[in-house]
């Protein structure tokens, strides 16, 4: 292993779903020194980083990315070679009920992090300044909704529809502006829906696995015909370290696994996998599917063209949707301690996001 040898990377949001996959990947597959900066919101879980604490290449700092003073101290203390910004409020339904936190963390937090990175970067000696990278992790939701045809490319225009995606679009624009105006060496990735182990149970796939295991109703929004393009989280983590290492400064890269599926297909697949792994003696779990009120402003379809990442950086997804989903369902069956502790600490799995329903 020689990747990132001698390099220190600040990873914000490293106790979240994708951030923890990035931290696990960096510790397992590279030589990087990793500093996990996380405020520890409801979505964070340090149990998602087994073994990290004992690793001499790992440090944890409980810091809010909106806090400039604290961030400045971290830049001074660690003298990083790169920043990967994954700290965010990430759940669309929560953004409908309470957008304020999304504006704070996703926009003000990214702004604050950019300012402190810029201040630090300007003071670096020339070799360090030339090698420094700021990678901002974003979503395909900034492009809005596709119709039945077409794919999002790096040239797609921004048209965010939810408070969440609007806050992410805003942060992407800030990152671009800090590059164009101040020369900060930034890159942006826009990825499709992730799934895999350590995913907070409010999101579609873990929500359905946990409800399905309990034999409870499986709430599919609207007709279930909305399409998402699913990517196994470890494939995303590998893409991010590649872009940080070899991506061209100032560029954006789309990340996706060519796995378009309707929500109904996803939920039916989970039912079938659960039936085969953990039969509950009451017939197929497909009977539990229940169509409920649609999400306000529900985007119809997302689909990513990842050609640029594949041809420029040689990235390929290792998992298909079928292999990744089977692994994921098995993980939730085996690792019940991880998600039961989230339920025990008060997460009730109730429906969110109806506040925006139009009159």
Under the rule (CB under 6 A), what is the footprint of ligand NAD?
A: 12-13, 15-19, 38-41, 43-44, 64-66, 86-90, 105, 109, 137-139, 168, 191, 193-194, 200
Tell me whether residue 302 is one of the annotated catalytic residues. no
The region of 25-33, 48-56, 88-96, 244-252 touching ligand TDX under the rule CB under 6 A is: 88-96
92 binds, among ligand NAD, ligand TDX, none (CB under 5 to 8 A by kind): ligand TDX
Verify binding: residue 21, ligand TDX, rule CB under 6 A.
Answer: no
Q: 3-class secondary structure for 293-306?
A: CCCCCCCCECCECC
Verify binding: residue 220, ligand TDX, rule CB under 6 A.
Answer: yes
How is residue 212 written in tokens?
């399905």
Cα 78 to the chain's mean position, in Å? Answer: 25
Tell me whether residue 294 is one of the annotated catalytic residues. no
Which residue in 38, 89, 140, 268 is the catalytic one?
140
Verify binding: residue 90, ligand TDX, rule CB under 6 A.
Answer: yes
105 binds, among ligand TDX, ligand NAD, none (CB under 5 to 8 A by kind): ligand NAD
Contact residue for ligand TDX among 219, 247, 257, 324 (CB under 6 A): 219
Residue 2: CB minimum distance to ligand NAD, A: 27
Look-up: residue for tokens 């992790």? 137
Tell me whether residue 164 is one of the annotated catalytic residues. yes
Least Cα distance to 117 among 184, 62, 168 occurs for 184
Verify binding: residue 106, ligand TDX, rule CB under 6 A.
Answer: no
306 binds, among ligand NAD, ligand TDX, none (CB under 5 to 8 A by kind): none
CB 61 within 8 A of CB 74: yes
How is residue 292 written in tokens?
């409920």
How is residue 64 written in tokens?
């809010």
Verify binding: residue 141, ligand TDX, rule CB under 6 A.
Answer: yes
Least Cα distance to 330 among 203, 219, 229, 205 occurs for 205
How is residue 135 written in tokens?
């990678």
- Stretch 262-301: interaction string toward ligand TDX, x if CB under 6 A: -x-------------------------------x------
Q: Quick one: 219 or 257, whose CB is closer to ligand NAD?
A: 257
CB 335 within 8 A of CB 197: yes
Q: Quick one: 13 or 80, whose CB is closer to ligand TDX?
A: 13
137 binds, among ligand NAD, ligand TDX, none (CB under 5 to 8 A by kind): ligand NAD
C-alpha dist (Å) from residue 70 to 66, 67, 186: 9, 6, 22
Residue 252: CB minimum distance to ligand TDX, A: 15
Tell me how far apart the alpha carbons of residues 263 and 181 are, in angstroms, rounded to a whole number: 41
Which residue in 38, 89, 141, 305 is the catalytic one?
141
Residue 284: CB minimum distance to ligand NAD, A: 28
Tell me how far apart the alpha carbons of residues 337 and 190 are, in angstroms, rounded to a whole number: 32
CB 198 within 8 A of CB 22: no
Q: List CB contacts of 222: < 8 A, sequence separation 6 or more.
A: 291, 293, 294, 295, 298
Half-sphere exposure of 255 (CA within 13 A, CB side): 28
Residues that bind ligand TDX (CB under 6 A): 90-92, 139, 141, 193, 203-204, 207, 219-221, 226, 228, 263, 295
């Amino acid at each position: 292993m020689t990747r990132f040898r001698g390099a220190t990377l600040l990873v914000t949001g490293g106790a979240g779903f994708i951030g923890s996959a990035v931290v696990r990947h960096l510790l397992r597959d590279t030589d990087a020194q990793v500093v996990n900066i996380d405020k520890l919101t409801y979505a964070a879980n340090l149990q998602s980083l087994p073994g990290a604490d004992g690793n001499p290449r790992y440090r944890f700092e409980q810091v809010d990315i909106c806090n400039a003073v604290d961030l400045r101290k971290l830049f001074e203390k660690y003298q990083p070679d790169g920043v990967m910004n994954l700290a965010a409020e990430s759940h669309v339904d929560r953004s409908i009920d309470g957008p304020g936190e999304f504006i704070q963390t996703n926009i003000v937090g990214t702004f604050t992090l950019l300012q402190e990175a810029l201040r630090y970067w300007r003071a670096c000696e020339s070799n360090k300044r030339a090698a420094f990278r700021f990678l901002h992790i974003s979503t395909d939701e900034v492009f809005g909704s596709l119709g039945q045809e077409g794919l999002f490319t790096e040239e797609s225009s921004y048209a965010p529809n939810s408070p969440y995606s609007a806050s992410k679009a805003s942060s992407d624009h800030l990152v671009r502006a800090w590059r164009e105006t101040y020369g900060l060496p930034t890159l942006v990735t826009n990825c499709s829906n992730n799934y895999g182990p350590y995913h907070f149970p409010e999101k579609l796939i873990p929500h359905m696995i946990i409800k399905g295991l309990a034999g409870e109703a499986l709430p599919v929004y609207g007709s279930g015909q909305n399409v998402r393009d699913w990517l196994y989280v470890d494939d995303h983590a590998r893409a991010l370290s590649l872009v940080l290492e070899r991506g061209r400064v100032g560029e954006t890269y789309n990340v996706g696994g060519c796995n378009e599926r309707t929500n109904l297909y996803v939920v039916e697949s989970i039912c079938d996998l659960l039936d085969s792994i953990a039969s509950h003696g009451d017939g197929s779990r497909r009977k539990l599917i229940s169509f409920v009120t649609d999400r306000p402003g529900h985007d119809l379809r997302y689909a990513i063209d990842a050609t640029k990442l594949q041809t420029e950086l040689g990235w390929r997804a290792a998992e298909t949707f079928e292999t990744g989903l089977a692994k994921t369902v098995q993980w939730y069956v085996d690792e019940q301690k991880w998600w039961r502790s989230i339920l025990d600490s008060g997460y009730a799995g109730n429906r969110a996001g109806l506040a925006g329903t139009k009159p």
